[in-house]
């Protein structure tokens, strides 16, 4: 007779523990969904067309930074556009083709003109 109340209390404890565990799983899923939405908002979608010239980020410079080195290589020509922001690019000099993620690319402006810098020679006083 004394075992029945203990059994009922134990079953209630197990059910309560399962509810707490299910709540924890649900909260974790909600947190992951919100984090993914926030992350996806920050990713900039890049749209390049076939034949467009692009610059490729030099990821080696992130490991060994150089003050005056350019972080961009190129120009490269986009030869194929795939789904999920993937592109096949071709080097203008070596004609090698390879696949890259669109996050490593930026558009190349061909009409950029560097201005001549005027040099001023100072005489000692």
Total structural domains in the chain? 2
Same domain, 35 and 60: no
Q: What is the pLDDT of residues 35-69, one digit of tens each?
A: 999 988 887 777 888 888 999 888 755 566 666 67
Average pLDDT of every residue of the chain: 84
Same domain, 26 and 63: no
88: confidence class by pLDDT, cuts 50, 70, 90: very high
Same domain, 31 and 63: no
- Pick the range with the lowest mean pLDDT from 1-5, 38-42, 71-75, 111-115: 111-115
Same domain, 60 and 37: no
Contact 90, 53 (CB under 8 A): no
Same domain, 25 and 1: yes
Same domain, 34 and 66: no
The pLDDT value recorded for residue 73 is 84
Same domain, 7 and 27: yes
Residue 114: inside a domain, yes or no?
A: no
Same domain, 31 and 60: no
The domain of 8 spans 1-42
Q: Which of left, alpha, beta for 46 (phi over 0: left; psi -120 to 50: alpha)?
A: beta
Residue 124: inside a domain, yes or no?
A: no
Whole-model pTM?
0.53
Phi then psi for residue 104, to 5 deg, are -90, 0
Q: Which of left, alpha, beta for 85 (phi over 0: left; psi -120 to 50: alpha)?
A: left
Same domain, 2 and 34: yes
């Amino acid at each position: 007779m004394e075992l029945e109340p203990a059994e009922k209390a134990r079953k209630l404890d197990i059910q309560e523990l399962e509810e707490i565990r299910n709540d924890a799983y649900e909260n974790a899923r909600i947190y992951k969904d919100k984090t993914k939405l926030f992350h996806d908002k920050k990713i900039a979608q890049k749209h390049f067309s076939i034949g467009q010239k692009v610059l490729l980020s030099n990821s080696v410079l992130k490991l060994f930074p150089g003050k005056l080195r350019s972080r961009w290589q190129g120009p490269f020509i986009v030869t194929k556009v795939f789904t999920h922001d993937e592109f096949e690019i071709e080097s203008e000099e070596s004609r090698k083709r390879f696949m890259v993620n669109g996050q490593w690319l930026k558009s190349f402006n061909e009409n950029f003109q560097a201005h001549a810098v005027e040099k001023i020679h100072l005489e000692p006083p």
